[in-house]
Amino acid sequence: MSQGKYLDRELYKYGRGEAYPFHMPGHKRQAVTPYLENPYLEDITEITGFDNLHHAEGILKEAQEYGAEIFRAKQTYFLINGSTAGILAAVSACTKPGGKLLMARNCHKAAYHAACLRELETVYLYPSWEESLGLNGGICPEDVEAALAADGEIQAVLITSPTYDGILSDVKKIAETVHRYGIPLIVDEAHGAHLPFHDYFPESALYQGGDIVIQSLHKTLPSLTQTAVLHNQSELVSRERLERFLGIYQTSSPSYLLMASITACLRYVEQRGEEEFEKYVCRLDKWRRVLAQMKTLYLPGKELLGQKGIFDLDLSKIIISGEGANIDGPSLHRILREKYGLELEMEAPKYVLALTSLMDTEEGFQRLAEALLEIDSRLMKGYKRKPLSFTDYPQELCSRQILSISQAMEREQEERNLTESRGLISGEFAYLYPPGIPLLVPGEEITEEFIEQAVRWEKEGIRLQGLSDYTQKRIKTVKKR
């Protein structure tokens, strides 16, 4: 209880410790403004002269216009409930209750929540699957075309690009396809707020036909957690509807500290971005070249391009695969944290993910590289890496949809042992977080393959979230009528 009572103290201690943050937020504990040193002094409400985010006419209107200028967008809205609020608002603005949404299966859970709230019927686009790495590939434009041609009732399309792992789809071709059907393309670019600011990175969906593009500033730029922006680039989306839903999904008491953090971030990018991004790219490229020398651990790079749906790769995401070195992601993550004081963003069954930003230091990159090279030298020598193997989406992650999400969540439910739930309809989500991609969605049939995978993950210490039973042994199912 003592730690819970002193969360502020624990954060204070951690922030001044030796652990290096290869994780969000993108500011990497470095301030970019002198004006927020004592947050209590600047924490205000909607007093005279400081406008109202939900009816911006003064300083906040100017701030959002400034954001549009920096990103070269048509309209920009500040989000202080993260990209989650942007996804909820975008999907709601682009669909009618009970309508149809074509969405990538690897979308963030917020997209599924939006589908539930709007009682939408969801049609899924499945990315390819890189089996040896254990990560999702991209969305093929041909699959988008096929889905839209087969169903004339789809009202909007939603994809994630880049993914958590930095995989980008061919947004330009997808946008051209979607627009031929006269509907909007929503791009969750939460992990790509940095893309517009250096040619080393892939082109942003902002300039490739995305009608609504949502970016989390806090993920890869120097801004506080929860800060994000939504860009409306198209006449296909009603500004009035979009603003109405932003007002619904965002708090009525938006934090001025968070909004100030957004403007400080934008100002930093405007005033110092060109110089600092150039330095960052030089550091990043240098240390990626060093890590490419590993003998057993593997750093994926541009060799992934051209595989199913993988149009480009954001090299700011450092993926380290242990598959060819006979070490799993959780073990590698634990060694990096406990022995080397490196806190990474995510561990997956077969790899770990280090998130970098322009605020990362030379010392930080050096610590990561030296640690990984040392670990690499101690692993099995001569162990051959498995070749890249792109296949269809894993069968255990594909389930037959029987009810819509909202139908399943509104029906009476009962809890039972997961191992005894085969063939029943799931009443809840099951997803790995991060990155928050549902493996099982309410309304879908629970398959034997999914059960076997979930049991295996539980034994390996990999937690599925969304299940009301934290032990991962029980699941809520829709009660039979």
pLDDT digit string, tens, across residues 236-295? 999 999 999 999 999 999 999 999 999 999 999 999 999 999 999 999 999 999 999 999
Q: Does the structure show a pLDDT above 80 at 437?
A: no
Whether residue 233 is found in the same domain as residue 373: no
Count other C-beta atoms under 10 Å from residue 247's C-beta. Answer: 13
The CATH number linked to 319 is 3.90.1150.150
Q: Are residues 208 and 88 in the same domain?
A: yes
Q: What is the pLDDT of residue 472?
A: 85
H helix intervals, 351-417: 362-378, 405-410
pLDDT at residue 392 in the model: 55
16 located within any domain: no
pTM of the model: 0.94
Q: Among 342, 369, 390, where does a domain finish?
A: 390
Q: What is the Cα–Cα distance from 228 to 217, expressed in whole angstroms?
A: 5
pLDDT computed for residue 438 by the predictor: 81
pLDDT in tens, 73-131: 999 999 999 999 999 999 999 999 999 999 999 999 999 999 999 999 999 999 988 87
Which pLDDT band holds residue 480 (cuts at 50, 70, 90)? confident
**Spatial contact of 475 and 445, defined as CB atoms under 8 Å apart:** no
Residues 42 and 182 in one domain: yes
The verdict on residue 152 lying in a domain is: yes
pLDDT digits (tens, 9 = 90+) for 369-417: 999 999 999 986 545 555 555 455 554 466 789 999 999 999 999 999 9
User: Is pLDDT at 345 greater than 70 in this prediction?
Assistant: yes
End-to-end, the C-alpha distance of the chain in Å comes to: 44
Clarify whether residues 55 and 70 are in a common domain.
yes
pLDDT for residue 182 is more than 70: yes
User: Does 121 lie in the same domain as 260?
Assistant: yes
Do 369 and 280 reside in the same domain of the chain?
yes
Looking up tokens 């927020």 gives: 36
What total of structural domains would you count in the chain?
Answer: 3
Domain-embedded: residue 318: yes
Look up the CATH number of the domain holding residue 423.
Answer: 3.90.100.10
338 belongs to a structural domain: yes
Whether 230 and 113 map to the same domain: the answer is yes
User: What per-residue confidence (pLDDT) applies to 321?
Assistant: 94
Residues 363 and 467 in one domain: no
Residue 399 confidence (pLDDT): 78
Domain's final residue, options 390, 417, 447: 390
84 lies in some domain: yes
Q: Which of 221, 240, 265 is the last residue of a domain?
A: 265
- What average pLDDT is seen over the chain? 93
CA angle 125, 313, 434 (to 5 degrees): 65
Structural domain harbouring 428: 395-478
